[in-house]
Amino acid sequence: MLVAGTAAAFLSMVLTWVFYAGTANVVLVLIIILLLSTGGAFRRPAMIASTSLMVPGRHLTRIQGFSQMLQGGINIIWAP
For the chain, what is the radius of gyration of the CA atoms? Answer: 16
pLDDT at 44: 79
* Residue-wise DSSP of 19-61: HHHT---HHHHHHHHHHHHHHHHHHHHHHHHHHHHHS-GGGHH
What tens digit of pLDDT does each residue of 21-52 get? 988 899 999 999 999 888 888 887 888 888 87
Q: CA nearest 8: which of 41, 55, 30?
A: 41
Residue 18 · residue 24 · CB < 8 Å: yes
Domain count, the chain: 1
Domain carrying residue 70: 2-78
What percent of the chain lies above the pLDDT cut of 70?
98
pLDDT at 38: 87
